[in-house]
Amino acid sequence: MALAGSCILQWMPTKPSKNLEIFDNPAPQRDYTIRIDVPEFTCLCPKTGQPDFATFKIEYVPDNHCIELKSLKLYMWSFRDEGAFHEAVTNKILTDLVKACEPRFMRVSGIFNVRGGIYTTVVVEHRKPGWQAPAHITLP
């Protein structure tokens, strides 16, 4: 439907993508933590083809780059039609994120919904060689 004097925008749906984008860390001189929750992750069970649902928690201390969130959303969406064991997909996500942004530290937790009466949580970590976490401070 065209209106006189107006332009018509055609809706272009986003598509899943394995391309992870990064941007420069705005404070590379400082150790700080970025925490991201992805509550709508889905992939397929490689045995049954049925969907698996999970929440992914990503925690990282960036070095020179940070992960751009829209590209992360499209990346996580790209697993929707793929068969993957929980352990394999969690490790793959860590590997791909580390490759993209080369953080000082990263932890990825895949918290999978119940399947066959069993909940599964897979936690994987990466540490940049030579990096040590700052001492934890407990305030009074």
The span from the CA of 62 to the CA of 30, in Å, is 9
pLDDT, tens only, 58-110:
999 999 999 999 999 999 999 999 999 999 999 999 999 999 999 999 999 99
User: Model-level pTM?
Assistant: 0.88
Provide the b/e sequence for 47-86 (b: ≥16 CB within 10 Å): eeeeebebebbbbbbbbebbbbeebbbbbbbebeeeebeb
Question: Is 7 known to be catalytic?
Answer: no
Q: Which of 52, 63, 81, 101 is catalytic?
A: 52
The terminus-to-terminus CA distance of the chain in angstroms comes to 64
CA dihedral 48, 13, 93, 100 (to 10 degrees): 160
- Residue 93 and residue 104 in contact, taking contact as beta carbons nearer than 8 Å: no
Question: Is 66 known to be catalytic?
Answer: no
pLDDT, tens only, 27-71:
999 999 999 999 999 999 999 999 999 999 999 999 999 999 999
Domains observed in the chain: 22-127 (3.30.1130.10)
Instruction: State the Rg of the chain over Cα.
Output: 19
Within the chain, strands assigned E span 22-24, 34-44, 51-61, 65-67, 105-115, 118-127
Q: Which of 31, 45, 63, 96 is catalytic?
A: 45
